[in-house]
Structure 1
């Protein structure tokens, strides 16, 4: 009887621990979801505040320059905006069909080498429309696997004071927080695509000009 009682009590304890662990996981997931919603609300707030001023994020990042559909023209200026303290940087330009323009975002790894994170697509109204990863020939950066990209992107932060209208940088910071889950998924999809390409062609895809975007996620900001 004592042995049976021991196993019974042990089972109860294990069940309680399992339920407790599951609740913690659910609580963490709910917290992450609510946090993402908060950052999406901040993004919408930035877009609306600029609209009330008769402006938008694209107009702001163009820095008074005319719109040019040319990959060599970078906004707000050549070299983009760099945060020397955090190692993150960005620039905006336009050259892809069916897209008004996009931000490129970068990090520096522990060796100080530049790593491209995500491409952030924008429409003419200055609204976020998508997130993508790009082939290495596009930006000439260092290739790292998805796990490292996730690590670097999770800490993305640039000081808003680095640009004359800090809302542009705040927007980018918020995108990384609001869409962390989606960003992680396109990193995984990128690695899966690279693996599939290598298995098919017996070579790496990094210089194949036929492939610019390796994975993407369309975003409908006002229907999330």
Structure 2
């Protein structure tokens, strides 16, 4: 269970603002019977497993944030999942001083903006709502591996600030990562701990390419529950400040 009491009032207020943005995006879509998943698939025609939506991914050239939506075959999906988003940040959008982790038998190459980092996966149900957050092993997305603490620093840098292919989905996914920032940080820490555990069990093995380890950490989530917990934590924070002020 995440400790909302450990957050500052400023952090809680930032999460509350993100919640308002998420709910507003869902509200305007619902007015015409639409939802986040339907919006990102608009005009795509037949929905094919494994294909990236939209084609070529969504990439913000100013902030160097990137995402796409796709689905695995039905038998590989978690209960209730239609598909999921994968979110990334590229090096030119990262905070200063961040470098890739040193990995066993992995040599990174490419241009200055190629060593992208996978931030978090977001499972969506058929109603277009997020139901699960998860992290993956390196081989799943072909990402460059960064330590959990560095990835946590990247979360606030994930911004999609343009209109295509959907202004509302871009704003929604930007805000969602801020809304669930606490849980994402915990998932990243759990990811690194699980990788270390597997490495201890299989010494001399390149765990990051081990096909038996795909989803490394996960957590089921609810926007409504998250908002309720933020509001409760904010109320308690205000009461504490009131006691101190007297």
TM-score normalized with structure 1 length: 0.81
Report matched runs for 1:169-180 at 5 Å.
169-180=170-181
Which residue does 1:31 correspond to in 2? 10
TM-superposed deviation, 1:103: 0.7
Which residue does 1:97 correspond to in 2? 77
Q: CA RMSD in A?
A: 1.8
Which residue does 1:137 correspond to in 2? 139
Which residue does 2:230 correspond to in 1? none
**Match among 90, 100, 103 for residue 108 of structure 1:** 90
Report matched runs for 1:206-221 at 5 Å.
206-221=208-223
TM-superposed deviation, 1:204: 3.3
Which residue does 1:120 correspond to in 2? 122
Determine the C-alpha separation between the residues in 1 that align with 2:134 and 2:162.
23
Q: Which runs of 4+ in 1 moved over 6 A?
A: none
Which residue does 2:202 correspond to in 1? 201
TM-score normalized with structure 2 length: 0.74
Deviation digits for residues 40-84 of structure 1 (CA, Å, limit 9, x no counterpart): 13212211221111111101111322453511x11122x201111
Bigger RCO of structures 1 and 2 (CA < 8 A, at least 6 apart): 2
Determine the C-alpha separation between the residues in 2 that align with 1:119 and 1:135.
11
Distance of aligned partners of 1:28 and 1:223 in 2 relative to their CA distance in 1, 3 Å threshold: closer
Determine the C-alpha separation between the residues in 2 that align with 1:87 and 1:155.
9
CA contact (8 A) 1:63 1:75 kept: no
Specify the SS of the correspondent of 2:44: coil
Determine the C-alpha separation between the residues in 2 that align with 1:141 and 1:177.
22
- Size of the alignment, in residue pairs? 196
Which residue does 1:75 correspond to in 2? 53
Listed as ranges, the gaps of 5+ residues in structure 1 are: 1-25
CA contact (8 A) 2:155 2:178 kept: no
Determine the C-alpha separation between the residues in 2 that align with 1:46 and 1:220.
16
Matched, 1:41 2:20: yes
**Match among 133, 139, 148 for residue 146 of structure 1:** 148
Distance of aligned partners of 1:138 and 1:127 in 2 relative to their CA distance in 1, 3 Å threshold: same
Which residue does 1:62 correspond to in 2? 41
Distance of aligned partners of 1:206 and 1:67 in 2 relative to their CA distance in 1, 3 Å threshold: farther
Determine the C-alpha separation between the residues in 1 that align with 2:68 and 2:89.
12
CA contact (8 A) 2:66 2:89 kept: yes
Listed as ranges, the gaps of 5+ residues in structure 2 are: 93-111, 227-246
Determine the C-alpha separation between the residues in 2 that align with 1:219 and 1:143.
25
